Amino acid sequence: MGRLDNRVALITGAAMGIGRACAERLASEGAKVVITDIEDHTGQETAAAFRAKGYTANFIQQDVTSEGQWQSVLADIDRLHGRLDILVNNAGIAIRKSIFEMTMDEYQLQNSINLDGVFMGLKYGIPMIAKTEGGSVINLSSVAGLKASPGLSAYAMTKGGVRLLSKSVAKECIAEGIKVRVNSVHPGIIQTAIWDKMGVPTDGENQVDVEQLANNAVPGGLLGKPTDIADGVLFLASDESRYVNGSELVIDHAISA
């Protein structure tokens, strides 16, 4: 018996990184996973790799900034599985620039993925999840949503927004009698491609060395793995967290402590 048998889970931005690890962990406990990502080829490969392990996994290409695509992805899931129980709003980008360096186009792009994408996931996902016996939404925030992050100020703004959006929507669901829990997860420094994308890949001089960064920023210098986050997401997705709602799960090896 898996902890998520008969549940259907949608994980955004799951072609790689934390989203992929979450999808695999949920699938390993019996969930039927639908992974979406803007990256079509990698997403297809990830779903195929999961199916090869015996998991029920589908990939649908999705840009989380598109309202129409949110609606069509949920309609596809309804056709595929007839229900949705778990939504992990994971897709996100990080533009590593101070407020003085960041252009308005970059600012708006980051907001549209990290904030609008999560808003639409909640707005359209919760009514579908509400048709089941009760479900769970997990939004990927960050340690940057809890404390100042110089050099990442606009990113921190989006992640702080995700934190309070999650808490507020959790209470809106309770007020409406909707049995959907909403929580946020706050990773510290986790080894994924997001750090390469944050670097300036010219001559390597300005590139972010994530191990060095962790050495300086994390107590004990310990760099996190995507599976460290996936284990927390599994807890929030499962019935073991039945009484955890409007809460924030910090997985940062004491960065913010």
Q: Give me the least distance between CB of 30 and ligand NAP, in Å please.
A: 23
Instruction: Report the residue number, 14 or 129, with the smaller CB distance to ligand NAP.
Output: 14
Which residue number, 6 or 227, has a Cβ lying nearer to ligand NAP? 227
Kindly state the smallest distance separating residue 99's Cβ from ligand NAP, in Å: 18
* Token duo for residue 111: 């907001």
Residue in 78, 191, 92, 83 with CA at minimum distance from that of residue 139: 92
Q: How far is the CB of 160 from ligand NAP (least distance, A)?
A: 12
Residue 107 a catalytic site member: no
Q: Does residue number 189 form part of the binding site for ligand NAP (CB under 6 A)?
A: yes
In the list 11, 18, 60, 236, the residue contacting ligand NAP (rule: CB under 6 A) is: 18
Instruction: Tell me if 135 contacts ligand NAP by CB under 6 A.
Output: no
Q: Please identify, among the stretches 86-94, 127-135, 163-171, 232-240, the one whose residues bind ligand NAP according to the rule CB under 6 A.
A: 86-94
Tokens 């060395």 sit on residue: 209
Applying CB under 6 A, among 110, 142, 166, 241 the residue interacting with ligand NAP is 142
Residues 6+ apart with CB under 8 A from 215: 221
**Nearest distance from residue 9's CB to ligand NAP, in Å?**
16
CA distance 172 to 207: 42
CB 22, CB 88: distance < 8 Å? yes
| CA atoms of 206 and 236, how far apart (whole Å) | 37
Q: Is 23 in the site for ligand NAP (CB under 6 A)?
A: no
Of residues 62 and 241, the one with the C-beta less far from ligand NAP? 62
Catalytic residue among 55, 107, 124, 155: 155
Strand locations in 207-252, DSSP E?
248-251
Residue list 111-130, contact with ligand NAP (CB under 6 A): 113
Q: Count other C-beta atoms under 10 Å from residue 75's C-beta.
A: 12
Look at residues 1, 19, 5, 10 and name the one whose alpha carbon lies nearest to residue 230.
19
Window contacting ligand NAP (CB under 6 A); options: 76-84, 90-98, 165-173, 241-249: 90-98
Q: 3-state class of 22 per DSSP?
A: helix
C-alpha 86/C-alpha 82 separation (Å) is 13
Alpha helices in 86-136 (DSSP H): 104-111, 117-129
Nearer residue to ligand NAP within complex by CB, 19 or 232: 19
The answer to whether the beta carbons of residues 87 and 9 sit under 8 Å apart is yes
Residue from 63, 78, 106, 172 in contact with ligand NAP (CB under 6 A) = 63
State the catalytic residues.
155
Under the rule (CB under 6 A), what is the footprint of ligand NAP? 12-13, 15-19, 37-39, 62-65, 90-94, 113, 140, 142, 187, 189-190, 192-194, 197
